[in-house]
Amino acid sequence: MAVFCDNTLMHTYTQSLQALIRENLGSDEFFIQKAIGWALREYSKTDATAVTQFVAATPLAPLSAREALKWLQNQERRQRP
pLDDT tens profile 51-76: 999 999 999 999 999 999 999 999 98
Q: Is the pLDDT of residue 9 over 70?
A: no
Q: Average pLDDT, stretch 6-25? A: 80
Spatial separation of the C-alpha atoms in residues 29 and 81, rounded to whole Å: 39
Residue 41 contacts residue 67 (beta carbons within 8 Å): yes
CA atoms within 13 A on the CB side of 40: 31
Whether the model pTM is above 0.85: no
Mean pLDDT of the chain: 87
CATH architecture for the domain at 28-81:
Alpha Horseshoe (1.25)
CB-based contacts of 7-12 (< 8 A; 24+ apart in sequence): 10/46, 10/47
Q: Is the pLDDT of residue 17 over 60?
A: yes
